[in-house]
Structure 1
Amino acid sequence: MTHDIETLRAALARPGRPSSDFDLNPETVLPEGRKLRPAGVLAPIVELEGALHLLLTKRSSALKHHPGQIAFPGGKQDEGDDDVVAAALREASEEIGLPRDRVEVLGTLPAHETVTGFIVTPVIGRVTRPFDIVPEAGEVDEVFSVPLGHVLSEPNYIIQSRWWRGQQRSYFAVPYGPYYIWGATARMLRAWTDQISR
């Protein structure tokens, strides 16, 4: 399936289904009344050699949480942020040097609940002009691009599992070259794939 900006925009305008890190682990019992912290992540779409690509980060191996994992730029909503979209844009500016005024927001996906207690809104944005990528020292080891068609293609997804906090947990992964994209990032991309295909 070929993807262009208008196709992506139209898909985001349709109702979608929320996702969570627990989707492949239905036996998980979540506590009633749990408090989830709002967060936003940006899926920045760039055009490279006539094709759409997605920018992703590789988190610093020195970080306490999720070291070395592949992630969208983003983070929790701060008091100074108007909403989760503003949080995603601010964090992308800080983490990869993407100016807010060079992002056209195409829409958002339904929120995603993580095992770490966040409710994350994926913000899909088109980068309107080139910018100098500046990885945030101490937070981001690398910024790289993956063809959008790769992560929006269902056959490229696999389900794997590992032990986590004493339980066997299943999760989506969508490997690309040397990059192992898994966990919450892969689950949100899989939800986007579903949204596009409906």
Structure 2
Amino acid sequence: MHFLTKDLYFPPIEETSSEGIIAVGGDLSPERLLLAYSNGIFPWYNEDEPILWWCPEERMVLFFDDLRITKSMRNIINRQEFKVTFNTAFEEVITNCQQAVRKEQDGTWITKDIVKAYVKLHELGYAKSVEVWKNDELVGGLYGIDLGDVFCGESMFSKVSNASKVAFIHLAKQLEMANYKILDCQVYNDHLASLGCVEIDRDDFLMILKS
């Protein structure tokens, strides 16, 4: 396993561990984060751990033709129960993602350092958010890294039913209209699968990312 120094690099993908970890340590500077995402790598670690960098063998992605919108979801969108905005409250979105209680995990991987680093990336124009509002209250949203033709989703939250789905669907539709190649969702969960996301091999994902 590679332990990163101050030098700005990542080891070859072939040296990724069977668990999906490619490196340990380093920092969360904008330069390193952008290098990571452009090579299919992302940070994911707990508060009491060193920074762990991942590039798992299976990658959860959305091909836009596969986006699944149920009839009930279409009705919610058509009734305009929610107002959706883009990049108007990034720090509020990432903070809500940090504070969201998730039954499948103990605590959060969105540490204070992660928040600080991604707010910086937002200020530089790379980290972006989708906000979902109801009665002028922020009730859902998501954020991620925009590579120009691939969007790397990081986390989402929902305070009321369907709010995060509304954010995801609006993002997917906008990316499709802008001719993005895929929406990267990193790792499998049932919520993403219900929206049409599928797992593909790392090599296939990297081929799409680099093409």
TM-score (structure 2 length as normaliser)? 0.27
* More strand by percentage: 1
Higher relative contact order (CA 8 A, sep 6+): 1
For normalisation by structure 1, the TM-score amounts to 0.28
